[in-house]
Amino acid sequence: MKKTFLLISLCIGLLWSASAQNLNELTATDAVTGKTMNLGSMSSGKGFVLIFHSLNCPFAKLYETRIKALKTTFQNQGIGFALINPEVGISEPEQTVLRNYIDQSGMNMSYLIDGGQAWTKVFGITKIPEIVVLTPGESGLKITYRGAIDNNPQSETAVTERHLERALNQILRKESPTPAQVRAVGCNVRTY
């Protein structure tokens, strides 16, 4: 019985370690710079926020001001931000549309293209916008929070629970976010 438990524990540990390494090695094209970006090198600091986003989702548009405010508040405290789009390819015209969006919206962050939806699958993303917060761990990046930005996509003035803001403040205080996951509300991710 003890041997079985130890074997299962060892397997789970190895899978977790491999998963952390895989997160560090994820790559995507940044539509803003045209360069291939590596998640491990992008996420140096206290934490990194990936915002799964699409220009075709009205919920993403509703959150635009809140995303900019969160980035302004937390980027100087060691938290990085990037948008990632699972619904476009890496062609130059598609990159141009995303680059123009960044310029016109004032988002001022990387806009990654998840053309093959590898990131979407690794993180289990089903909604747009959906957030994944990564923090450094002993064996690489770990998911510390995932889910909703807050509890009211339609009306910023009616928000009573600021899930992402609370999670980031807890991370900065070296605490584990509670809750660590909140169901995201928004557009369904179109899978290919």
- Percent of all residues in the chain with a pLDDT value above 70, rounded to a whole number: 89
What are residue 27's phi and psi, to 5 degrees? -130, 155
Q: For the purposes of burial, counting CB atoms within 10 Å of the CB of 87, is it exposed (0-12), middle (13-18) or buried (19 or more)?
A: buried
- Rounded distance between C-alpha atoms, residue 53 and residue 71, angstroms: 15
Average pLDDT over residues 29-40: 93
pLDDT tier at 115, thresholds 50, 70, 90 = confident
Residue 2: predicted pLDDT: 52
- Domain 18-188 classified CATH 3.40.30.10? yes
pLDDT in tens, 154-188: 999 999 999 999 999 999 999 999 999 999 999 99
Query: Which residue in the block uniquely carries the two structure tokens 């205080």?
Result: 173
Record the tokens describing residue 23, joined without a space: 């997160």
pLDDT in tens, 4-17: 444 444 333 333 33
Residue spans of the domains in the chain: they are: 18-188
User: Could you tell me how far CA 63 lies from the centroid of its own chain?
Assistant: 14
- Computed over every residue of the chain, the mean pLDDT equals 88
Q: Residue 93 pLDDT > 80, yes or no?
A: yes
Q: Residue 26 pLDDT > 60, yes or no?
A: yes
pLDDT in tens, 49-90: 999 999 999 999 999 999 999 999 999 999 999 999 999 998
